[in-house]
Amino acid sequence: MEILLATQNEHKKEEIIAMLPQNFLLKTFKDYDFNGDIEETGKTFEENAYIKAKFGYDLSHIPCFSDDSGMVVEALNGEPGIYSARYAGTGDFKDNIAKVLKNMRDVAYRNAYFISVICWVSEKETRYFEGRVYGTISTEVRGVHGFGYDPIFIPNGYTHSFAEIAPEKKNQISHRAIALEKFKNFLDSQSVNF
């Protein structure tokens, strides 16, 4: 069975491929010669995931799923939230991280969470699967693994940032892993044969 993953983020693609079974054909926008931008105009993670998944389904006419994810910092009133990828306005995650650390400089309450929402669009239905992992914001950049805000996010129960944890371990406990596990269970329950 062919399934389209609606993303152009190669890091996200690699992380998702590592977590899903390998016995199906996972396509991406590259297979359809699409390298443009999909404007994420939604006001929630669900809305943005749907926009991407619906675009991918309309483009390919095969079942499509998309992930919209980000980091929510409670002391920053939920920022960066749906603007996680473009928080600093430069498109560079080093700048995004620097902005979070600057905004959190004198803040003692450092609770945050990563959220991932997967939207599945097929001919028959649209479904959503959510995963969250809670933790705190570090006071400095720590680690070299991962991507995005991983170097400043310390998951609850750990003393290391996501960027200090081996990728295989992070892929077992991340927000995306939780959402993908729900997604896999849904596909299994629908008797979708990979």
Residue positions annotated with a catalytic role: 68
Q: Is residue 161 within 8 Å of residue 153, measured between CB atoms?
A: yes
Q: Is residue 9 within 8 Å of residue 147, measured between CB atoms?
A: no
Q: Is residue 26 within 8 Å of residue 5, measured between CB atoms?
A: yes
3-state SS record for 28-76: CHHHHCCCCCCCCCCCCHHHHHHHHHHHHHHHHCCCEEEEEEEEEEHHH
Per-residue buried b or exposed e for 91-103, using 16+ beta carbons within 10 Å of the residue's own CB:
eebeebbbbbbeb
Q: Is residue 151 within 8 Å of residue 172, measured between CB atoms?
A: no
d(CA 52, CA 70): 15
